[in-house]
Amino acid sequence: MHSPQRAFDFLVLGSGIAGLTFALKVADHGRVAIVTKKNRADSNTNWAQGGIASVTSKEDSFELHVRDTLEAGAGLCRESVVRTIVEEGPARIAELIELGTRFTERDIPDSSGARELDLTREGGHSKRRILHARDATGAEIERALLAAIARHPNIAVFENHHAIDFITTGKLGVSGPNRMAGVYVLNQPENRVEVFASPVTVLATGGSGKVYLYTTNPDIATGDGLAMAFRAGAAVSNMEFVQFHPTCLFHPKAKTYLISEAVRGEGAYLLGADRRRFMPNYDPRAEMAPRDIVARAIDSEMKRTGADCVFLDISHKPAEFIREHFPNIHAKCMEYGIDMTREPIPVVPAAHYQCGGVVTNVDGETEIAGLYAIGEVACTGLHGANRLASNSLLEALVCAHRASLKALKFESGSLPGLLPPWQPGGATDADELVVVSHNWDEIRRTLWDYVGIVRTDKRLRRAEKRLANLQEEIREFYWDFKVTPDLLELRNLATVAELIVACALQRPESRGLHYNLDHPHPDPAWQQRDSRVQRISG
């Protein structure tokens, strides 16, 4: 299997808001490759409904946005990072608009006749501050960014290319600090592994929702970037903080369809099996409490009543208002025979967002020189123990900008000209694909059953044991057989699952999204302590 080498100044893995923003910002200064394992628009960003949180209204302030973020983060956010991201948000949003992103505007012009942006609300926000494009904000941002990417002559997009592992100077036996030299990439259409050489690699591969049986994430969310970075020796933190979105559509035929938090922001109530509101019994903010609280309340209601789901009801609002604000959600529900203008929507919590990730500073720098991580794959300290709704697109934008400034100044020193080709070893075609899909199912069910919204030490230990057995099997499989996209994803998913459990076992308390019945209260000793896992060998 011949393995040609391609060389770039900047290599971006992932084609969501973080990766595309970074690529656009450096493209005037060098050749950029964007490597993406499916089509360019297959990203978590494209699925984001709610919007971007940022201070754009006169009634709002940076101080309030910072306060809401810190409060949702349950004591674990890094305040300086929160402040930077919140304060730089408006400038980055202005750039997005300049690029052609069309956010929804208010129907009524202000006194000067200008149209203001419409702002919606989500849980944990004390003010209306979510910019949105109806209920398909991510898709609108992705559209604008991809159009700009297509216009830039220095950017090449490699679709259906699956990154496998990093090539670092540490692995090559080059002396000095560990630096990035390139990445092995499976070119799926050609069915061969290629070397992409670059002094700078940007991980913008998103999250890992597929590690759970039920998730709001698209199929691509298998934690590839996180697992690669971990294998290469980068530190990973706070993976125990998996955010479960409270309201995923519950229907036998619907796979992973999110009902945006903005629906609650615009007045929807959560109802139990008896069709009565229950959130006021759990928190004075009721349906507008932060997500960890709402998801746990739903879990507890479902366990208490034995019901399969709860209900989200906005039918008390005028039908026209609902259709206007939520055209896509309304249409999707209608496909399943649910008319949200007249009846409540059955919903359940599902894995939604990975708050932990590869440890970075606010500039996206990791502990490996030349490796940057931005967006959901990174752990900057913004989200702490629970992400405030709609802060993630904001973080991706701000950190992509800051990482681009650092990457443009980065001096890699001399790197080997020709990197070693991929060694397929004695690989043969895999005829045991059924084992891959069986292991994949087992990981997802194990995480759902033992590492879900409510945890115990015993369940975590049980998950740890099962995952260790699976890892052994997957490792054998990986070395014996030719790599396929499914096998690569399975290997990465297993690593992410182990990291979530390892981080959860480190934290002997309950905080934010991590709730352990054996340690049901926050421990002040852990208030500002991150969990952390790192492989010694690079």
Nearer to ligand SIN, 126 or 412 (CB): 126
- Residue 376 CB, nearest approach to ligand SIN (Å): 10
Strands (E), 292-366: 310-313, 345-354, 357-359
What is the sign of the dihedral through the CA atoms of 235, 240, 241 and 244? positive
Which of residues 237, 260, 380, 439 is near ligand SIN by CB under 6 A?
260
Nearer to ligand SIN, 204 or 263 (CB): 263
Note whether 347 binds ligand SIN by CB under 6 A: no
CB of 294 within 8 A of CB of 127? no
- Residue 397 CB, nearest approach to ligand SIN (Å): 13
Which of residues 205, 392, 510, 531 is near ligand SIN by CB under 6 A?
392
CB of 161 within 8 A of CB of 4? no
Note whether 389 binds ligand SIN by CB under 6 A: yes
Between residue 97 and residue 116, which ones bind ligand SIN under the rule CB under 6 A? none
Which of residues 118, 261, 464, 530 is near ligand SIN by CB under 6 A?
261
Q: How far apart are CA 127 and CA 90, in angstroms?
A: 16
Nearer to ligand SIN, 383 or 514 (CB): 383
Nearer to ligand SIN, 60 or 261 (CB): 261
Nearer to ligand SIN, 54 or 390 (CB): 390
**b (16+ CB within 10 A) / e for 138-148:** bbbbbbbbbeb
- Residue 90 CB, nearest approach to ligand SIN (Å): 18
Give the residue carrying structure tokens 């991201």.
85
- Asked if 129 is an active-site residue, the reply is no
Which of residues 36, 198, 217, 390 is near ligand SIN by CB under 6 A?
390
Note whether 292 binds ligand SIN by CB under 6 A: no
Closest CA to 375 of 355, 405, 346, 352: 355
Nearer to ligand SIN, 121 or 519 (CB): 121
CB of 248 within 8 A of CB of 258? yes
Q: How far apart are CA 173 and CA 122, in angstroms?
A: 50
- Residue 201 CB, nearest approach to ligand SIN (Å): 27
CA atoms within 13 A on the CB side of 76: 33
**Kind of pairing between the strands at 5-7 and 192-197:** parallel
Q: How far apart are CA 430 and CA 439, in angstroms?
A: 15
Active-site residue among 264, 291, 296, 466?
Answer: 291
**Sequence-ordered list of residues with C-beta below 8 angstroms from that of 46, at least 6 positions apart, any chain:** 16, 138, 139, 142, 218
- Residue 366 CB, nearest approach to ligand SIN (Å): 24
Note whether 50 binds ligand SIN by CB under 6 A: yes
- The token duo for 413 is 């020193």
Note whether 262 binds ligand SIN by CB under 6 A: yes
Type of residue numbered 369: A
- Residue 390 CB, nearest approach to ligand SIN (Å): 4
Q: Point out the residues that are catalytic.
A: 291
Q: Which residues bind ligand SIN (CB under 6 A)?
A: 49-50, 260-262, 353, 389-390, 392
